[in-house]
Amino acid sequence: MRHLGSTWLFPFIGLSLSCISVLVRGMTDVRREELRDETAALFKHGYEGYMRYAYPADELRPLSCGPLGRDPNEGNFGINDIHANISMTLVDVLSSLPVVHPKAYPKAVQLVAERVSFDQDVKVQVFEMTIRALGALLSTYQHLDELPDDPILQAEKLGLEEEGWSWGGARKASVNLKQYKDRMLALAKDLGERLLPAFDTVTGIPYARVNLRSGVLKGESVETCTAGAGSLLLEFALLSRLTGDDRFESLAHNAYMAIWNRRTQQNLLGNTIGTHGHWLSPGFSGVGAGMDSFFEYGIKAGIMLDDDTYYDIFYDSYAAVQTHVRTPDGFIYRPIQIRLLQPSSPSTIDSLSAFLPGIQVLAGDVESAIKSHLVFWNLWRKHSAMPESWQWSERNVEWAGYPGRPEFIESTYYLYQATQDPFYLRVGERILSDLKRRTKTKCGFATLKNVMTGELEDRMESFMLSETLKYLYLLFADIPLPNANKVFTTEGHSLRVPPKHLRTPSLTRRTLRRGEHPTCPVYKPVMVGGLTEDEGIVVGIEGRAEYEYARSLIYGWGSEGLEAEDPSKMWWNGGVCHIPSAPKFAFEIVLSPLNTSDPSQVPPEDPSPGPNKVTQDSLTGDYVITDIEGLRLGVRWRFDGQGYDVSNIGPHRLRPGQQVIITDPTMRDHLPVASPPPSELSHSPAELILRFTAYPSDTAFVGQASGEGQVFLHAVGATAVFGKDFGAPLVKNGGEKKGWELGGKGMRLVIAPDANGQAEEGCQSLPRKYLGLSPEEDYVLAVARGNCTFLEKAILAKANGAAGVLVLGTPPVTDTDGNTWDEGLIRPSAEIDPALESELDDMGMIYTEYLVGEVLRRAVNVEKRVLGIELLRMDGDAVPDENGGRAAGAPAGGGKAGSGAPDDGVEAREGRLMVGQHAIHNLKVVNGDKIDRGGRRPP
């Protein structure tokens, strides 16, 4: 996402309108493949037009079919910022060629490796050179590194002729592309070093421009923008990891932090800043021009580098955007003044902010992504392109140009991957048709100077190939999003950090992450007539009320605004759509005793609550509050739309999956007398003993193993906080205890091997036949952690007849000092849909450490043994018997079994605090302990 000048919006004006609903309309695979091939043909047309008419210039003139060079006027930054005399279009498109036009890849790599030099006496923009050139070179280096060593195998992997490369119709002998790998990294480092002088400032915030040969020129402007200075992390960090030169990552990190540390009290950032560290006029915050990719690089740096620092910054800044920048309806993101917190005037949307839905998908906020994307979809549908800026409050185009920007298409691709709704394929089909009809020329693709008149400009920016047509191709080819420390940069280059280059988190970070399940909510389509797909009819994006509401924001009233595109596929429900109102996203609550009406009685904030008030459970990572006095809790809206979560307790940040438990007796009267439903109670016991028995390979393990078995391992397991409660009363089956419960008989343990002999993650269907099981065998499935959520593993295992799941932890990590650590035991957690809760009551999940899994794998894969597993309680755990009574060791009195609560004669109660109609899900008030805090007693 590139940045322009500043833009601003106007306050939201309320409307009401009628609703139209649409059932899901699909797209055949044949049609999707036709669109994929058409996109590839257009990409090839643009690339070969550049190579024929413009190379080695940086850009193509698509109307006059000639090269576009630097402007003699050095102040023409729109041209000169990216014209470095390095064949920029060829360099920028390198990472797209293997995907979309592989036949051109070998020659392109050779040309860049042999002819590109950054020893140029030109002033260019640091940001543009980083995202276009540096990112492309690093991506190409990694792609070449992944290719086989044999040239013939390289050709096969690229989908080329087995006997050699083809270029321009002339066949050539096989070329070993990997010989250029080191050259790509050397070029990247050379460019990085030429950009380093820009960081020589008092704050670490870099100058916007630098001369590639001379460095920062005398009199260079100190003005830069948040996106330009704060979107260098991905490329610079990877360059450091690959070369071992820490300068690049350190400087990019310092620049990013220098900007973030100048945020307002509300966690807002301005769009223009000086290298001296002061926000410059006009002082607006938002998500568009000048700010866009700062947010993008926050979450993507978290993903690629596995660094919570960047995750934290992103989610804090995103909460500020959702709270202050987003309009009350949840659809428009308008610039606001960072000091007065007032919306700007006039009110505009710029095309660069169309990146936001894609980032919202990455963040897990799919519902917000759908809404914001629909606004841009209606803009495109109205103008058959995306105008650079649009006054949404007056519904007028402010800046009518469209240079082929990719942001809206990129977001469409991300949303299709998240929802699989064919609506997004049809959006891509419309975009492809409009691009072909309005911008295609004899030798390339022109810029639309005016989206309303169709007037063209004689320029084809490099991102037309590297991003716009590439993302369309990815959409129609249904190529999944990258993951596992791999991302697309803001210029569409794929970068990844190999495991050996990941850095070990600090002890503090490892402690904070205990109990975490960093996954996004699964998209749930709207249903008509039922709660699940089996009970009702799935309604596509076009059938949601948000679809017509977004249309009204762009088109306004009348037949144009409410016209149905395909009436045969729609039905009228006779209802009225009310103006949407998004819940308040983030705020702070003050804990205080009940009925405190005098504000002076509210205790002052404790800025750094110590262990006398807040402690963290070393096993689960949960926080326990024993004294509420002076505590402020940050609260944020959950992305699944089910309410709120506590995000922080003063300086203590909560991770997904961690809970807050308040035991302060002064909160007692906040609770209802009735006990909470079973789903609100923690599962018990937290830990239990796993006993593993090995049997000969021919053992028939039906019901209970026959033949002599050998107990060879005892280990500790942590139970999940969803699904089966192992502390519940034991169920009898014909007078005999079942196997997958405490004290039950042994059950067969099955480890499903993958191609490497390791346990599969259990993220796909594993039928009994594949596992070598008979139809009547009961079994527990052992799976590796990762690749999908704990909930998805449980659902898939249950669907294939497993009685339970044993999750094998991740391997230990050795840091740069030679110290080895692992995460230990965690309690698997998940957000359970009420419709699934009862279905998973008998599906128990237990987590054990990686080394235990290694022993089990050896027994199965090497020793060829059949395994059995039994569950035993830890000493002192309370286990209810089958009649609901207490087994030996259970606490007496008013305490809850397994809770550890002593009997103080006070009825134990649990509950959750509410914000309006919404619960704070990860906060639980537990009252029943006798706590002495300096003489204070329960009331």
What residues are annotated to the active site?
128, 292, 388, 407
The distance from CA 480 to its chain's CA centroid, rounded to whole angstroms, is 13
Number of neighbouring beta carbons within 10 Å of residue 916? 9
Q: Exposed, middle or buried by CB within 10 Å (0-12, 13-18, 19+), for 265?
A: exposed
Helix, strand, coil percent content, the chain, rounded in steps of 5:
35, 20, 45
Nearest to 477 by CA among 24, 147, 101, 1: 101
Strands 66-68 and 59-61: antiparallel
Rounded to whole angstroms, how far apart are CA atoms 895 and 820?
40
User: How far is the C-alpha of 161 from the C-alpha of 169, rounded, in Å?
Assistant: 12
Compute the distance between CA of residue 568 and CA of residue 547 in angstroms, rounded to an integer. Answer: 17
The residue type of 391 is Q
Q: Whose CA is closest to 318, among 372, 255, 279, 274?
A: 372
Please, are residues 659 and 923 in contact by the beta-carbon 8 Å criterion?
yes
Annotation-wise, does 490 bind a ligand?
yes
Amino acid at the residue 286: G
For residues 40 and 48, give the distance between their C-alpha atoms in angstroms, rounded to a whole number. Answer: 12
Distance CA 638, CA 319 (A): 11
Q: How far apart are CA 335 and CA 265, in angstroms?
A: 17
Does residue 265 contact residue 236 with C-beta atoms inside 8 Å?
no
HEC string for 497-523: CCHHHCCCCCHHHHHHCCCCCCCCCCC
Intra-chain end-to-end CA distance of the chain, in Å: 58
Phi-psi region of 707 (alpha: psi -120 to 50; beta: other; left: phi over 0): left
Strand 623-625 to strand 660-662: parallel, antiparallel, or no bridges (unpaired)?
parallel
Count the alpha carbons within 13 Å of 438 in the hemisphere toward its beta carbon: 26
- Residues 6 or more apart whose CB falls under 8 angstroms from that of 674 comprise none
Establish whether the linkage from the previous residue to 505 is cis, with ω within 30° of 0.
no
Alpha-carbon gap, residue 556 to 363, rounded angstroms: 31
Residue 713 bridge partners (DSSP): 692
H or E segment to which residue 640 belongs: none
Q: Which tokens in the block code for residue 734?
A: 């014909």
The DSSP 8-state label assigned to residue 449 in this structure reads S
Structure tokens at 896: 């809850």
Residue 183, CA distances (Å) to 157, 859, 928 in order: 21, 47, 68
Q: Find out whether 7 and 348 touch, Cβ atoms under 8 Å.
A: yes
DSSP reduced 3-state for 531 = coil
Nearest C-alpha neighbor of 644 from the set 591, 587, 592, 605: 587
Q: Which two tokens stand for residue 469?
A: 């047509």
| Beta strand pairing call for 909-911 and 632-637 | unpaired
Question: Of 526, 418, 416, whose CA–CA distance to 477 is shortest?
Answer: 416
β-sheet bridge partners, residue 935: none
Which residues, 6+ apart, have CB-to-CB distance to 545 below 8 Å?
Answer: 19, 577, 580
Nearest 10 degrees: Cα torsion 860, 861, 865, 866: 40
CB-CB contact of 492 with 471 (8 Å): yes
**Three-class DSSP category at 642:** coil
Binding-site sequence positions for Ca(2+): 490
